[in-house]
Structure 1
Amino acid sequence: MQSRSRRSVLTAVAAGSGLGVAGCLGDNNSVSVLAAGSLAVLIDDHLGEQFESETGISCRGEYYGTNAVMRMVRDDRKYPDVVVSADAELLRDQLYDAHAAWDISFASNAIGIAYAPNTRIGERLKGDEPWYEVVREAEPGTLAISDPDLDPLGYRAIHAFRLAEREHGLDGFAKAITEAAYREPEEPQLLAGVETGNRAAAVVYRNMAADHELPFHSFPEVYDFSNPEYTDRYAEVSYTTDEGYTATGGPIVYNATVLESADSPDAGRKFVRFLANAGDLLRENGFETEQFPRSHGDVPAEVTGR
């Protein structure tokens, strides 16, 4: 059953209270975006400003781990116009039918380790020691990962640990590192601990390290989830969240949709089209856009430009 829109909920409230809501919602002067935390700097500091400059539509963003974003929409706790996910399959699995019928994939990424250079981990990574030896010998809590039950970046970190264990013959490595890592529940705050000195390093997307001007140690392509040629290798690992969703390893794909309950659907469709065609800006901020954008489902013509 389709979720009730915020407009219908507020209209019902207003009818009972004698207060009107005409002109407050859906005027297309702004678009609300609920997005993966790794997109916060991109949207707030770059893309949102450019979108408003070109369209006159302001962008209001909120950012969480993508799993958390999906829960907020499904549970009617957030009512955005646009949802942007760091895991295309997760959005389709969680939102299609009840909340959305299409999406546009617009970018990829890679994962690795961002680190504070003036730490023992930082010094060893700068010295080109194998990253897995560096983190295996670090104190518990020194390395941070995003919460895998709330965020694809978290379960991708665990996927990477498991693939690295196989790739490098590291018996027991994935379990030990996963248990020793600090789990950050708020993805946008994942690097705050590194910047303040509470953590030495974190497993992040490449663009996040660039956003925070931190050095980035890339994982090999066989487990950085950037190269579609390794799709079968990535799929050898999986993680099941506390809600029972099983995320199988795969290339990182970001996608966006406009909810069927959107208060400003026209503005939402303009934003998704803008995002899909922002290749230069995305690349400048650490994303990969080769082979994008791609459409899925019954995408409106005003989004595709057809």
Structure 2
Amino acid sequence: MNEETKLCHMDLGGDYDGDGVSRRTALATAGSLVGIGVAGCLGTGTNSVRVLSAGSLAQTFESHIGPAFEDETGISVHGEYYGANAVMRMVEDRTKQPDVIVSADSTLLRDRLYGEFTDWDVEFATNSLGIGYNPETAFGQDLEDGIPWYELALESDDGDLSIGDPDLDPLGYRAVQAFELAEAEHGLEGLQDELLERVYEEPEEPQMMAGVESGSRAASVVYHNMAVDHEMPFLEFPDAYNFANPELEAHYATVEFTTDEEGYTAEGRPILYNATVNDEADDPDAGHQLVQFLIDNPNLLVDAGLTVSESLPRPEGALPEVIDV
């Protein structure tokens, strides 16, 4: 049995698949086969719901939401995980036809999908931006000694610090925006340009974590839950540029990023995950059940390293009657 087939037959609710491959090993393999291994799993099985989600929630769905949802409903979750820009593009051009769509940027989903694929969503969790790092590297040791991250980043070798691809992923363009806000916050003229010349842009989100874990990269600008997923030390950025404080919405909006491919301009804004059911879903009922499950189980999201504030969940648009917020 090849690795793709192993992943597609993995029991999300247990510790091992039929060939004795551990869940952690299978998920790590999924990272190296993004768009191939996990992608091949969508649509398998008859009592399942298909999810197309931002890559930062891969472990959240595979290790937390998926098993618990299947235990409660008998419906398995089959997911694909990409940068949220790529997720929207796949829905728009119908490369993928998921039941549930999940974005790491609620405004992005509304801007791209409202009107043709959905007219509602529910915001269900937040996150914060910072640096996940390898404590065994010189960068990591200096960071733990209290040296500011931006000084280390400017002194490190090119590629020691990685970010997501800003043209594919909100995680990437938020890193670019954070560098601009940090430049103003710390009074360091030219910081953003210097950092962007040095960082490595990783197009496959799971590979960012793999690179840091192996030591081939010293650190990466990631979300808090991604560091939790990998049991990795995490330095949260200050509120001024971690995109976690809703009260700083106007401040975050002073920066923006325009993607090359679609020409989509994203203003800086608080991190908000939202979910909707595709109007073209094969199984909208299962999709509605999964969205309701996200609403009803904030404890699972918190266990996965996300934050569920008192203001969440929060609906937007013409919410279906079957969804209770």
Counterpart Cα distance in 2 of 1:58 and 1:153: 28
Q: Contact 1:238 / 1:249 at 8 angstroms: preserved in 2? A: yes
Of 306, 310, 314 in structure 2, the residue corresponding to residue 287 of structure 1 is 306
Q: Contact 1:86 / 1:252 at 8 angstroms: preserved in 2? A: yes
Counterpart Cα distance in 2 of 1:183 and 1:100: 31
Partner of residue 28, structure 2? none
- Give the deviation of 1:26 after TM superposition: 12
Instruction: Please say if 1:273 is aligned against 2:292.
Output: yes
Counterpart Cα distance in 1 of 2:210 and 2:277: 31
Partner of residue 90, structure 2? 72
Counterpart Cα distance in 1 of 2:110 and 2:207: 26
Q: Contact 1:234 / 1:250 at 8 angstroms: preserved in 2? A: yes
TM-score by length of 2: 0.85
Q: Contact 1:87 / 1:252 at 8 angstroms: preserved in 2? A: yes
Q: Contact 2:44 / 2:78 at 8 angstroms: preserved in 1? A: no
- Give the deviation of 1:180 after TM superposition: 1.1
Instruction: Please say if 1:200 is aligned against 2:218.
Output: yes
SS in 2 for 1:269: helix
The 5-angstrom pairing of residues 131-280 of structure 1 reads: 131-242=149-260, 243-280=262-299
SS in 2 for 1:302: coil
- Give the deviation of 1:232 after TM superposition: 1.1
Per chain length, whose mean CA-contact separation is higher, i.e. which structure has more relative contact order (CA < 8 Å, sep 6+)? 1
- Give the deviation of 1:177 after TM superposition: 0.4
- Give the deviation of 1:304 after TM superposition: 1.7
Counterpart Cα distance in 2 of 1:175 and 1:277: 43
- Give the deviation of 1:179 after TM superposition: 2.0
Q: Which consecutive unaligned segments of at least 5 residues does structure 2 have?
A: 1-42
Report the aligned-residue RMSD: 1.3
Q: Contact 2:163 / 2:199 at 8 angstroms: preserved in 1? A: yes
Q: Contact 2:165 / 2:202 at 8 angstroms: preserved in 1? A: yes
Q: Give, as a single letter, the amino acid of the residue that structure 1 aligns with 2:321.
A: A
Q: Give, as a single letter, the amino acid of the residue that structure 2 aligns with 1:288.
A: T
- Give the deviation of 1:199 after TM superposition: 0.6
- Ranges of 4+ aligned residues in structure 1 off by more than 6 Å: 25-28
Counterpart Cα distance in 2 of 1:27 and 1:103: 26
TM-score by length of 1: 0.90
Partner of residue 70, structure 2? 52
Q: Contact 1:64 / 1:188 at 8 angstroms: preserved in 2? A: no
Deviations along 1:230-276, one digit per CA (max 9) or x if unpaired, are 11111110000012100100100000000000000000000011012
Q: Which consecutive unaligned segments of at least 5 residues does structure 1 have?
A: 1-24
SS in 1 for 2:323: helix
Q: Contact 1:81 / 1:264 at 8 angstroms: preserved in 2? A: yes
SS in 2 for 1:280: helix
Partner of residue 320, structure 2? 300
Cα 1:278–1:173 change in 2 (3 A) is: same
- Give the deviation of 1:27 after TM superposition: 9.5
Deviates more, 1:190-199 or 1:25-34: 25-34
Deviates more, 1:278-287 or 1:152-161: 278-287
Q: Contact 2:49 / 2:75 at 8 angstroms: preserved in 1? A: yes
Q: Give, as a single letter, the amino acid of the residue that structure 2 aligns with 1:245.
A: Y
Counterpart Cα distance in 1 of 2:244 and 2:169: 17
Deviations along 1:34-80, one digit per CA (max 9) or x if unpaired, are 00111000100111000000011110011000000001111111111
Q: Contact 2:208 / 2:220 at 8 angstroms: preserved in 1? A: yes
- Give the deviation of 1:28 after TM superposition: 7.1
Higher alpha-carbon Rg:
1
- Give the deviation of 1:197 after TM superposition: 1.8
Q: Give, as a single letter, the amino acid of the residue that structure 1 aligns with 2:232.
A: L
